Amino acid sequence: MKNFMPLVAISFIAFVIAGCATTEQVSSAKMSGFLGDYSQFHTGRSGQAKYVYRDKSVDFAKYNKVILEPIQLWAADSSDSTLSNLSKEDQQLLVDYLYVSLSDALKRDYVMVNEPGPDVMRIKCVITEAKASSPVKEILSTVTPYGLGISYAKKFTLGTHSGAGVVGIEGEALDSLTGKRLAAVVDRRASTKSLSSSYTRWGDVQDAFNFWARRMQTNLALLRAHQVD
Q: Where are the domains of the chain?
A: 4-224
pTM here? 0.76
pLDDT at 75: 78
Q: What is the DSSP string of 50-112?
A: SEEEE-TT--GGG--EEEEPPPEEE--SSTT-TTTTS-HHHHHHHHHHHHHHHHHHHTTTSEE
Q: Distance between CA 110 and CA 72 in Å, rounded? A: 22
Pick the closest to residue 100 from 151, 56, 50 (CA basis): 151
Q: Distance between CA 75 and CA 127 in Å, rounded? A: 8
- Cβ proximity of 10 and 169 under 8 Å: yes
- Below-70 pLDDT ranges, the chain: 1-29, 47, 78-81, 130-135, 137-138, 140, 142-166, 190-204, 229
pLDDT at 160: 34
Give the 3-state secondary structure of residue 25. Answer: strand
pLDDT at 142: 64
pLDDT at 40: 93
Cα angle at 73 between 72 and 76, to 5 degrees? 145
pLDDT at 61: 96
pLDDT tens-place string over residues 180-228:
999 999 988 765 554 333 434 456 677 788 888 998 999 899 899 887 7
The continuous run of DSSP H or E covering 157 comes out as helix 149-158
pLDDT tens-place string over residues 147-165:
444 444 444 443 333 344 5
